[in-house]
Copies of this chain bind each other. A is one copy, B any other.
Amino acid sequence: MRNIGIGLVGGGYMGKAHAAALSAVGAVFDTPLRPRLEMICATSTDSAERYRRAYGFARATEDWRVLVAAPEVEAVVIASPQDTHRAIAELAFSLGKPVFCEKPLGAGLADAEAMVAAAEASGCANMVGFNYIRTPASQFARALIARGDLGQISWFRGEHTEDFDADPAKPASWRSFGAANGAMGDLAPHMINAALALMGPIAKLSTDIVTVYNSRPGADGPVSVTNDDIGQFMCRFQNGAMGHLSFSRVATGRKMGYAYEVTGSKAAIRFDQEDQNALWLYKAEGPEAERGFRKILIGPEHPDYLAFCQGPGHGTGYQDQILIEARDFLRAIETGQPVWPTFRDGLEVSRVIAAAHASHASGAWVAL
C-alpha cells in the first residue's frame, strides 16, 4: 500500500471538510493509495498552526509557495479563495504535482482557461470540486439518463437557491462585491455542472440577472452592492431539449435548493439536495392507475452508497460527498487516468457563465 503526501491550502470552510475526508478516506474506501497529511497553509502563522493541530497535519505555513514547493508535499488540495486558485495550481503543475481545486476554477474565464492549459501541459491529475453531484442519488440520476431510461429528453429545470442574503437588513460582506461572488458567479457553477453532467452541452441561452437589494448596511452607512442576487437563463441543449436554470441567494426559506427535474418521453426524475437521500422517479409504464412519482430511498443498490452506509436507509451526508472526491483524486493520481470532473469540465462551466453574462448584457440569445 503506497501513500502520498498532501498539502492543503486553506483551513477554514472547505479546508476542514477536505482534512476530515483525507483522514478517513482510506478506512472508508480501502484505497490503494493512502494520503499523508503533510502540510497545511492558512492566512496567518497562528491560524495555520491551529488548523495543523486540529486536523493532524505534520507542518503548517502561511505561505502557499512554501507548501507547494515542499518535497514531501506530492499533491495539492486548493480550498482557498477563488482569486488564489490560478497561481497555486500553476506552480503545482510546474512542479509536476497533481491538484484538486475547489469550484469554481479561479475568479473568471481567463483563470479557468489558464488553469486548464497548465494542467494539460503538465499531464498531472487534476480535478475540480463539484461535490453535490457526487451523492448516490445524483449519480443514479446520471446513470438512468445515460442508459436511456428516460427516452427522448425534452426538458431540464435546475436551480441553486439559498437564502443567506434574503434579509435586506443583513450587512454587506465580501459576498456583496464582484461578479465572482454574486449568484451567477458563486451559486451557478454547481448547478451548471449538474446540467452539463446530466444533459450534455448547452447550445444557446438567454439570460436575466438582477440585484434585488442594491444597498446594504455597512460600518459607515449604506454600501452599494455591486453583484447579483438572482440570475436565470433559458437554454437549449445540444440534444435538443429545452432548459431553464435559476440561481438565487435571496430565496427565503431555501437552505440548499440544489434541485433539478428532467423530463423524458418514458420517464421523469426529480431531485432536491435538501432531501439528498431520495430520488423521485416516474415511469410511464405499467397500468395507468398505478403510476406515480416514486420516492426511491438511496441504498445499497446505488452508486457509492455502501462505502458509508452499512444497510438500507442509513443515509449519506455532505461529508460523504467530500470523501468521494478524495477517493477519486487518489484514483486519478494512482492510475494516471483523468477522473471526472477535470479542470476541463470546470472550464465548460465557466464558459456557460461567461455566455450568460454576455446574453444579459445584450438582451439576446447567445450561442456557445
Contacts and interface: CB of A to CB of B under 8 A. Distances in A.
A278 B289 CA distance: 11
A178 interface: no
Contacts of A277: 274-276, 317
A125 to B, nearest CB: 23
Nearest to A159: B157
A30 B54 contact: yes
A61 interface: no
Assembly stoichiometry (copies): 4
Contacts of A21: 24
Closest 3 CB pairs of A and B: A256-B313, A253-B282, A317-B317
Interface stretch (A106-114, A190-198, A260-268, A339-347): A260-268
Contacts of A267: 252-253
Nearest to A246: B244
A297 B274 contact: yes
Interface string A45-84: 0000000011110000000000000000000000000000
A1 interface: yes
Nearest to A231: B242
A164 B314 contact: no
Contact of A296 (B14, B291, B319): B291
Given A16-B310, A162-B313, A289-B299, 11 more contacts: A26-B56, A30-B53, A166-B263, A167-B284, A230-B242, A232-B234, A253-B291, A254-B313, A255-B299, A316-B317, A363-B365
A268 B257 CA distance: 14
A210 B242 contact: yes
A229 interface: yes
Contacts of A233: 234
B212 A154 contact: yes
Contacts of A54: 26-27, 30
B295 A289 contact: no
Interface in A292-322: 292-297, 299, 301-302, 308-320
A220 interface: no
A308 B20 CA distance: 9
